Amino acid sequence: MKNFTYISTLKPTISAILCIFLGLGALSSLTADSTFLHVSFDPTRELYEEINKSFLKAWKAKKGSEFAIQQSHGGSGKQARAVIDGLDADVVSLALSYDIDNISTKSGLIDANWQKKLPNNSVPYYSTIVFLVRKSNPKKIKDWDDIVKSGVSIITPNPKTSGGARWNYLAAYGFAKRKYKSDEKTTEFIKALFKNTSVLDTGARGSTTTFVQRGIGDVLITWENEAKLSLDEEKRSGKNTLEVVYPSESIKAETPVAVVTKTAIEKGNLEKATAYLEFLYSKEGQTIISKHFFRPTDSATAKASAKEFPNIKLFSLSDLGETWDSAQKKHFADAGVFDAIYKTK
């Protein structure tokens, strides 16, 4: 029996299709044998492939039983919407706390105090936002100022559907706000960024495909782990066409996890779900996390893997005077700053 399978939600319509099928009973096999479903965001595919194998091995050694883990990936916001609409996840690992809060408030499936259930406000790992450029960096991109220059083609996902895209946006916004100390100049900076944007994919992995495989764009704004994974894949295939550029500063992108309590209880999976997320904080889990280029929160693992993660000045959402609620309303909600900017692109 396979230990895990994938439900691909990369295409925009798949989550909706899954939810429709769920209502019709076409996915009854997911619950008939208490199959465990983990709903996550785009760039974690490879990470959880290894996490699942290691966790299931540890579970069998401790409990003497086996079960299957099914994995669903897509843009973080779309994944949250799919769970709200009925996709029966036992656990979620999403790109930002707002998406998990959204599931909790709109569906009641996740406990309101979910952030207190696990260490570090239920954030077992984090990342930051960097640039992926063509070999030899022909556009001479070194910092955020460089990507808004005339003639630079940017690839980034759509902040309306992708959690990673919201981190990208806020990393650029934070740089501009801290540099210019002017709301007007900061807005002009963001407007220039999206004026240079060639393609808005629905998720981070789609943007990576556009940049790396389709060869579109001069710079990809992306998760650090996604950029390093692209280099790792190139190395294995004998290619050498890309480089990672670290800006002078970027945002600390915290990526939380939560048990979908009501669903896990209904499916008889609460113990499994809790153990699964706790495994992420174990020494083995944290080592796997660092291996896949996410930054571990455990200090000993972080120290051991420090050479993999260049020292970069990181600012937080709170450093910008924002919470996820305020940032969502101001920047990403309908008629927010992003809508105003993109309509006038």
Question: 165's torsion region: left (phi>0), alpha (psi -120 to 50) or beta?
Answer: alpha
Which sign does the torsion angle of CA 26, 29, 31, 37 carry? Answer: negative
* Two domains, one topology: 36-123+256-308 and 127-252+315-343: yes
Which sign does the torsion angle of CA 285, 290, 296, 300 carry? Answer: positive
Instruction: Count each helix (H run) and each strand (E run) in the chain, helices first.
Output: 17, 15
Do 145 and 121 contact (CB within 8 A), yes or no?
no
**HSE, side-chain direction, 13 A CA sphere, residue 325:** 3
The pLDDT value given to residue 344:
58
Q: Rounded to an integer, what is the distance from CA 126 to the centroid of its chain?
A: 9
Question: 204's torsion region: left (phi>0), alpha (psi -120 to 50) or beta?
Answer: alpha
The pLDDT value given to residue 345:
57
> Model-level pTM greater than 0.85?
yes
For helices 45-63 and 283-291, what crossing angle results, to 10°? 160
- Grouped pLDDT means (10 residues each) for the chain, 345 residues: 36 38 36 76 95 98 95 94 97 97 98 98 98 98 98 96 95 97 95 96 94 97 97 94 98 98 98 98 98 97 95 96 95 94 72
- In the chain, where are the structural domains located? 36-123+256-308, 127-252+315-343
The pLDDT value given to residue 343:
74
CATH number belonging to the domain at 36-123+256-308, selected among 3.40.50.10210, 1.20.1050.10, 3.20.20.70, 3.40.190.10: 3.40.190.10
Q: Could you count the other beta carbons within 10 Å of the beta carbon of residue 193?
A: 22
Residue 130 has φ and ψ, to the nearest 5°, of -130, -175
The dotted CATH code for 127-252+315-343 is: 3.40.190.10
The pLDDT value given to residue 312:
95
The pLDDT value given to residue 342:
84
The pLDDT value given to residue 1:
34
| DSSP symbol at 218 | S
Rg of the chain (C-alpha set): 20
Which sign does the torsion angle of CA 252, 214, 206, 228 carry? Answer: negative
The pLDDT value given to residue 187:
95
